[in-house]
């Protein structure tokens, strides 16, 4: 039976690709959605107005990985990949396109392949820090020996939106947490906030601007208008969701006085519990799902 990518490998890809449910242009201008998907969806070409659900994004990733698994498997006769090597190379191929050049069409040794992985750090002719971190993670996984059981979901890398996607917060210092979130909003979204640790109208508007930008809104104005309402209706979060919108939601929870745990872009039990507490405090249906009404309370209360 042919080897397939493990959950560990899938989560490695999710960690660096990130998930966006509205189409956007990547670092070199290619229209992209989900976890780096650039092809038509259900026969329809991607446009900047395309949106999908989280379930569709996950399905597209799994579907898209099949062809990249084959690109790695075509050299299995030569290298007899173990699971870690295979996972690392499928991640590499999903980002680069193939492993033909990396393996020099099957003429390089395993040691040479490992050393060459980190040479692929550019997009559009520029070295990107995110690619540097991804290549290093792929190299370390490629070199990791198989010992004991296959890595489990619990061992998997967190599916962060990107290495720089989340502010550093400590749940026992509310003012410091808000300062970290304000600094992160300034660095990522150029919001010009005073990092004063106070959750006021300007910080609330900055979080909404971040939401508007990440959901593809035309107006990035920090106002809860019709376009924001529509975006909130399409971008629904729940346990198991990952990506930058989860990061923004976790930041909203922290600022509103609820504790989702580490801000990591991963909607798990602590974020679910904080969401339920938020919904109870604001008189919302306690379903743990972040839909239009829950987003609205966070941005316009």
Catalytic residue annotation: 17
Per the DSSP assignment, residues forming a β-bridge with 51 are: 22
Beta strand pairing call for 122-123 and 126-127: antiparallel
DSSP 240-297: T-BSHHHHHHHHHHHHTT---SS-SSB--HHHHHHHHHHHHHTT---SS-B-HHHHHH
Cα angle 11, 57, 81; round to 5: 40
Beta-strand runs (E) in the chain:
20-25, 31-34, 122-123, 126-127
Say how many Å lie between the first and final Cα of the chain, rounded.
Answer: 55
CB-hemisphere CA count at 13 Å for 82?
12
Please name the residues in contact with 187: beta carbons below 8 A apart, sequence gap of 6 or more.
164
Quick one: how far is CA 127 from the chain centroid?
Answer: 20
Rounded to an integer, what distance in angstroms lies between the CA atom of residue 249 and that of residue 145? 37
**Residue 99 has what DSSP assignment?**
S
């Amino acid at each position: 039976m042919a080897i397939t990518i493990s959950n560990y490998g899938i989560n490695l890809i999710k960690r660096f690709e990130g998930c966006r449910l509205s189409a956007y242009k990547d670092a070199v201008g290619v229209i992209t959605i989900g976890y780096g998907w650039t092809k038509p969806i259900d026969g329809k070409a991607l446009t900047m107005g395309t949106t999908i659900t989280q379930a569709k994004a996950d399905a597209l990733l799994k579907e898209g990985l099949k062809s990249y698994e084959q690109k790695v498997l075509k050299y299995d006769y030569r290298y007899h990949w173990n699971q870690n090597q295979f996972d690392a190379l499928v991640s590499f191929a999903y980002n680069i396109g193939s492993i033909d050049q990396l393996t020099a069409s099957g003429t390089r040794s395993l040691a040479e392949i490992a050393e060459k992985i980190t040479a692929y750090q550019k997009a559009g002719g520029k070295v990107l820090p995110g690619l540097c971190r991804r290549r290093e993670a792929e190299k370390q996984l490629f070199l990791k020996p198989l010992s004991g059981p296959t890595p489990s979901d619990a061992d998997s890398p967190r599916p962060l939106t990107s290495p720089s996607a989340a502010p550093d917060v400590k749940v026992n210092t509310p003012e410091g947490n808000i300062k970290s979130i304000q600094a992160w909003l300034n660095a990522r979204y150029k919001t010009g906030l005073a990092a004063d640790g106070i959750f006021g109208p300007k910080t609330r508007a900055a979080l909404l601007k971040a939401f508007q930008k990440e959901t593809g809104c035309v107006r990035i104005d920090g106002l809860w208008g019709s376009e924001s309402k529509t975006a909130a209706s399409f971008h629904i979060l729940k346990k198991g969701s990952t990506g930058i919108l989860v990061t923004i939601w976790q930041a909203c929870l922290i600022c509103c006085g609820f504790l989702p745990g580490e801000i990591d872009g991963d909607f798990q039990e602590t974020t679910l519990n904080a969401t339920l507490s938020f919904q109870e405090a604001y008189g919302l249906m306690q379903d743990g799902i972040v839909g239009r009404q829950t987003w609205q309370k966070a941005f316009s209360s």
